[in-house]
């Protein structure tokens, strides 16, 4: 489906001037949104920017570099260049594969626990890499541009120089249009992802990319037009470069957490069944990964892109694993305070104090949900008589605090579970409505190429919705059973009480 290396964060980029909204790390094991100290404030709205971007795309040529996603010729040229540049002989080669258009396939028997790759630091792209146009690099460093936008600009700069750049063989092997939700129009996001919370994440990501480009253009590019001409450094090329970063950038723990692009290694595809990932090996002085299983000649070799949900994999990499095959899959459930609540203002104030809002998303997994979700639900249903506990509930609902999380209020547990169930069933109805309508969507048959693209997007959306609805159905079943147990227990207690009362009569 897609080639990429493991990404350890899904926040768009570190803070840059007034930019960058904290995205979440939904890839964390808890799948809870991780709060960051800096936020992004983008100058352009998605609705206006989307139409402007689509209009610009109709007159701006697509990026002239890169190749078709399944091109082996360019990948083989990359392999030869890497070997000539110091990449040691490999036990793998690039081939067309069933999972992903291109992938690394074993040439020899590979043992479990064997180290592979050994890409030297000289063949790794980082924020410290030498620019072919050193003046452009110096300008960005003078403005203290952080790694993500710096690397995005670096990629465009090197790509525009074509054969003059030492990275020309690598860039020509990169996809001309990466699999990324950055390439979905607003209408496509609204149409195909209307039921999923990933739609909001995608809109946020697109907004942040547009805002980052606008900030770079206004504060830097416009002041140095000779170094950053608009015909090269434009929204279309930044969409491409950020698409490459989202799908291929890795964080290497043993190199002080440095983010990097690792040519050759980023041809490895993802499998939900493996846990091995890329890192720098100090003994061999190269980027490697250690296999967690054996491979025979002809088998595709996989790594893990991280413990990500199907929605996150679609967001960054443009593919959705088969339903039920991803043990890290989850779906975000949106919970909201009711404005009719007599204590709405007090509850909202308590939530805001801990970085939360009146509407909050929490992850559901097949195995359950986080204690923060339960704490939020307790707060949402708590009566005025429990106002002294509002602060404790709000604190426990925030993943930013270390306060005791597993709070319990037996007197309102039934109402809290019913509150979660109502939200769950409301979400299920949205997925069901979309899936029922997906079979009769009016697709434009006058343009076969566009039709094929939209059919592909539609299939991705259907796959995502089926996997997320499956988790919601599981949560619905668990909630109904727990409520039934609570209510039957209460009924038994009431009958016992009535029995004692009749006895004493």
CATH of the domain at 346: 3.90.1420.10
CA–CA dist 14, 12 (Å, integer)? 7
Residue 403 in any domain: the answer is yes
Percent share of the chain, pLDDT over 70: 81
41 is in an annotated binding site: no
Question: Based on the domain organization, do 245 and 375 belong to the same domain?
Answer: no
Question: Based on the domain organization, do 267 and 363 belong to the same domain?
Answer: no
pLDDT at 266: 93
Question: Based on the domain organization, do 313 and 334 belong to the same domain?
Answer: no
CA–CA dist 119, 325 (Å, integer)? 31
Question: Based on the domain organization, do 293 and 413 belong to the same domain?
Answer: no
- Only one residue has tokens 């005791």, namely 404
User: Whole-number mean pLDDT of the chain?
Assistant: 84
CATH classification at residue 193? 3.90.1410.10
280 is in an annotated binding site: yes
Question: Based on the domain organization, do 189 and 229 belong to the same domain?
Answer: yes
Of residues 491 and 234, more confidence is placed in 234
Residues 97-135 have pLDDT tens digits of 887 789 999 999 999 999 999 999 999 999 999 999 999
Residue 60 — very low, low, confident or very high, per pLDDT cuts 50/70/90? Answer: very low
pLDDT of 11 over the 50 cut: no
pLDDT of 352 over the 80 cut: yes
pLDDT at 452: 81
Residues 249-278 have pLDDT tens digits of 999 989 888 899 999 999 999 999 999 999
Cβ neighbourhood burial of 283 (10 Å; 0-12, 13-18, 19+): exposed
Question: Based on the domain organization, do 295 and 381 belong to the same domain?
Answer: no
Residue 231 — very low, low, confident or very high, per pLDDT cuts 50/70/90? Answer: very high
Question: Based on the domain organization, do 412 and 465 belong to the same domain?
Answer: yes
Structural domain total, the chain: 2
Q: What is the average pLDDT across 306-322?
A: 92
CA–CA dist 206, 225 (Å, integer)? 25
CA–CA dist 472, 463 (Å, integer)? 15
Question: 178 lies in which domain range?
Answer: 72-317
Residue 297 — very low, low, confident or very high, per pLDDT cuts 50/70/90? Answer: very high
Residues 131-190 have pLDDT tens digits of 999 999 999 999 999 999 999 999 999 999 999 999 999 999 999 988 889 989 999 999
305 is in an annotated binding site: yes
pLDDT at 47: 36
pTM, to two decimals: 0.81
Which contiguous run of DSSP H or E holds residue 331?
strand 331-336
Question: Based on the domain organization, do 349 and 430 belong to the same domain?
Answer: yes
Question: Based on the domain organization, do 297 and 354 belong to the same domain?
Answer: no
- Provide the 3-class DSSP secondary structure of residue 326: coil
pLDDT of 450 over the 90 cut: no
269 is in an annotated binding site: yes
Neighbours of 481 (CB within 10 A): 10
Q: Which of 70-79, 82-91, 146-155, 319-328 has the lowest mean pLDDT?
A: 70-79
Question: Based on the domain organization, do 141 and 229 belong to the same domain?
Answer: yes
pLDDT at 178: 84
pLDDT at 28: 29
pLDDT at 400: 74
Angstrom distances, CA of residue 1 to CA of 26, 70, 97, 251: 21, 10, 9, 22
Residue 362 in any domain: the answer is yes
């Amino acid at each position: 489906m897609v080639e990429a290396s493991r990404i350890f964060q899904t926040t768009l980029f570190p803070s840059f001037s007034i930019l960058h909204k904290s995205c979440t790390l939904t890839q964390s094991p808890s799948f809870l949104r991780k709060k960051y100290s800096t936020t992004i404030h983008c100058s352009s709205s998605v609705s206006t920017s989307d139409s402007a971007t689509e209009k610009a795309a109709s007159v701006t040529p697509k990026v002239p570099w890169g190749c078709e996603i399944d091109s082996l010729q360019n990948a083989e040229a990359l392999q030869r260049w890497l070997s000539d540049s110091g990449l040691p002989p490999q036990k793998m080669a690039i081939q067309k594969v069933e999972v992903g258009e291109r992938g690394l396939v074993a040439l020899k028997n590979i043992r479990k626990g064997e180290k592979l790759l050994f890409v030297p630091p000289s063949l790794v792209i980082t924020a410290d890499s030498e620019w072919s146009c050193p003046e452009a690099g110096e300008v960005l460093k003078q403005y203290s541009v952080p790694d993500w936008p710096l690397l995005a600009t670096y990629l465009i700069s090197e790509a525009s120089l074509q054969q003059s750049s030492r990275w020309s063989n690598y860039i020509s092997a990169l996809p001309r249009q990466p699999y990324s939700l950055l390439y979905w129009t607003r209408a496509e996001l609204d149409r195909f992802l209307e039921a999923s919370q990933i739609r909001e994440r995608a809109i946020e990501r697109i907004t942040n990319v547009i805002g980052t480009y606008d900030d770079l253009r206004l504060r830097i590019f416009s002041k140095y037009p000779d170094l950053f001409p608009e015909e090269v450094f434009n929204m279309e090329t930044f969409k491409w470069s950020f698409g490459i970063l989202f799908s291929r950038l890795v964080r290497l723990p043993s190199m002080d957490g440095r983010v990097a692009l690792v040519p050759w290694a980023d041809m490895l595809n993802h499998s939900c069944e493996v846990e091995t990932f890329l890192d720098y090996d100090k003994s061999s002085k190269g980027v490697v990964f250690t296999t967690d299983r054996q491979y025979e000649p002809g088998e595709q070799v996989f790594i893990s892109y991280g413990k990500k949900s199907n929605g996150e994999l679609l967001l960054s990499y443009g593919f959705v694993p088969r339903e039920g095959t991803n043990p890290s899959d989850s779906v975000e459930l949106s919970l909201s305070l009711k404005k009719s609540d007599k204590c709405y203002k007090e509850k909202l104030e308590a939530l805001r104090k801990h970085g939360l809002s009146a509407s909050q998303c929490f992850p559901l997994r097949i195995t359950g949900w986080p204690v923060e979700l339960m704490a939020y639900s307790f707060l949402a249903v708590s009566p005025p008589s429990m106002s002294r506990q509002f602060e404790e509930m709000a604190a426990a609902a925030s993943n930013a605090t270390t306060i005791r999380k597993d709070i319990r209020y037996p007197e309102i547990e039934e109402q809290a579970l019913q509150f979660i169930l109502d939200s769950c069933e409301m979400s299920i109805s949205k997925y069901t409505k979309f899936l029922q309508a997906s079979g009769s969507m009016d697709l434009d048959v006058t343009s076969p190429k566009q039709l094929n693209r939209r059919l592909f997007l539609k299939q991705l959306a259907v796959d995502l919705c089926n996997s997320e609805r499956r988790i919601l159905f599981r949560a619905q079943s668990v909630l109904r059973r727990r409520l039934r147990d609570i209510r039957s227990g209460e009924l038994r207690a009431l009958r016992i009480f009535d029995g004692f009362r009749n006895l004493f009569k």
